[in-house]
A and B are shown apart, each in its own frame.
Chain A
Amino acid sequence: MGKKIKPEIEALLFSAPEPVQAQRIARYLKTTESEVKQIINELNEDYANEGRSFYIREIAGGYQLYLKGEYGILVREFHRLEKRRLSKGALDILAIIAVKQPVTKRVIELIRRASSDRILHNLLELGLIKIVGKSQGTNAYLYATTEKFLQTFGLKDLSELPSKEELERMAEYSGELFPKKKDENYEQ
């Protein structure tokens, strides 16, 4: 196999419509995870040297071919892609789920004090969240974020988001959460 492993890894990534775990590639090609990562680095160096428009990105727990950001506008205009927009409420709910998952609707609604059925439904349809089970006591659905959530927000994994503890600490510095208007050149 030896020499062919580099194009093989490239082939697997090239053909995948979603992030592929290094471990999975390693197991299939009977090599180690660190070797796979090493070769991915080499591939990225090759691409950079050759001035290619793409690179292999570590995202959502795996690796995937991505276009360099500088070609984004070109591609978007050529394929007439639309910008993706999420409402503020949807972002609030995603933030809660991301940190507190698995979490029930009740917990979400207790923080937002607003009914959240419609938004949860939409987020499920968009594949940004999923139902991972039911809570033992109440039998209510438990929600969690998906791989697509990580991709949408360009995250390697959930550890890139603040943890519950970090959020707790954030709350202690009222300055950060409740800045005085003077601090941010408030108009008028």
Chain B
Amino acid sequence: MPAKVEEKRFNIQIEDFEGPMELLYYLVRKEEYDIYDLPVAELVDQYMKYIKMMEELELELVGDYLVMAATLLELKARYLLPREPHPDTTEQPTAQQELASMIIEYKKYHALAHKLETRMIQEELNYQRGEFPELEIKEKMVEPNLWELIKSIRKYFSSTPEFPVKIRAEIDLSERLTEILFYLRERKKAKFRELISQRSELQFLVVTFIALLELSRMKKVRLLQRRNFSPIWVFLIE
């Protein structure tokens, strides 16, 4: 039964996870598992299902999630294998305990983070004399993470009624790379959205996306946004 729900929720939820621990915690909450009696195998399976869906996006953003997956699979194996009585008297934590304390440890800080967020919102209207901290931040742009890039693409997808997958001459990555650089040389900056939507073709979008990641890696461009959820800009580094 849970498996059915996931497909639907995936789209909404995936964007909100800040990392593997949050996903894990979300699963515990969703299934109402007792934290002190976790069904380790079931929880790990659930986690793996999510990872699989993430991988289907075919983007290498699941790094942290995969590392966690390895840890979880090991815990699952230990959980399922019959425990050999330990020779020494000191008690080793079971896989169940280990997983629980991992989640509890994270959740402690996550709960505090939530309190901080509430305080931050309360503080928003308390201005001190002499300085507007917001102004400072306003001028400062941050680098979007991969989630942000994907969100941007997803938004574009959902706003484009038809998206033909045409079979045609291959778009060469290095060619597109040069093209983007030329485009940027003229105007110094461009919106991420503007670059991926120059042609409404799936292949073009994918190649552009990879080209931008590559240019960013080569430090030829910088991807920046004012804050989370705001438009992503591509700046030429000279």
Residues of A whose CB lies within 8 Å of any CB of B are: 14, 16-18, 54, 57, 59, 64-67, 69, 71-73, 75-76, 79, 81-89, 91-92, 94-96, 98-99, 111-115, 118, 122, 125-126, 148, 151-155, 161-162, 167-168, 170-171, 174, 176-178, 180-181
Contact = CB atoms under 8 A, between A and B. Distances in A.
Given A113-B67, A153-B116, A181-B32, A171 B108 contact: yes
A178 B129 contact: no
Interface in B16-54: 16, 18-22, 28-29, 32, 35-36
B21 A152 contact: no
B134 A98 contact: no
B110 A95 contact: yes
A11 to B, nearest CB: 13
A43 B71 CA distance: 59
B133 A148 contact: yes
Q: Which of B20, B67, B107, B113 has the most CB of A within 10 A?
A: B113
Q: Which of B21, B107, B112, B122 has the most CB of A within 10 A?
A: B112
A180 B20 contact: no
B68 interface: yes
Given A67-B127, A81-B134, A87 B228 contact: yes
A147 B116 CA distance: 15
9 contacts: A65-B128, A76-B125, A98-B116, A111-B21, A113-B102, A153-B116, A154-B123, A167-B109, A174-B36
A181 B140 contact: no
Contacts of B120: 84, 86, 91, 152-153
Contacts of A155: 119
Given A79-B132, A89-B19, A154-B119, A112 B106 contact: yes
Given A161-B112, A162-B112, A122 B142 contact: yes
B132 A153 contact: no
A67 B134 CA distance: 15
B106 A65 contact: no
Given A81-B134, A113-B20, A181-B32, A95 B109 contact: yes
Contacts of A168: 108
Interface residues of B, number: 54
Contacts, number: 162
B150 interface: no
Nearest to B120: A153
Nearest to A169: B108
B119 A72 contact: no
A71 B125 CA distance: 8
Nearest to A182: B32
A82 B18 contact: no
Contacts of A92: 18-19, 109-110, 113
A147 to B, nearest CB: 12
Interface string B141-168: 0110100000000000000000000000
Nearest to A14: B129
A180 B22 CA distance: 17
Interface in B156-202: none
Contacts of A88: 16, 18, 22, 113, 117
B82 interface: no
A87 B145 CA distance: 11
A84 B129 contact: no
A17 B129 CA distance: 7
A63 to B, nearest CB: 11
Contact of B21 (A76, A87, A112, A167): A112
Contacts of B108: 167-168, 170-171, 177
Contacts of B60: none
Given A72-B124, A81-B135, A111 B20 contact: no
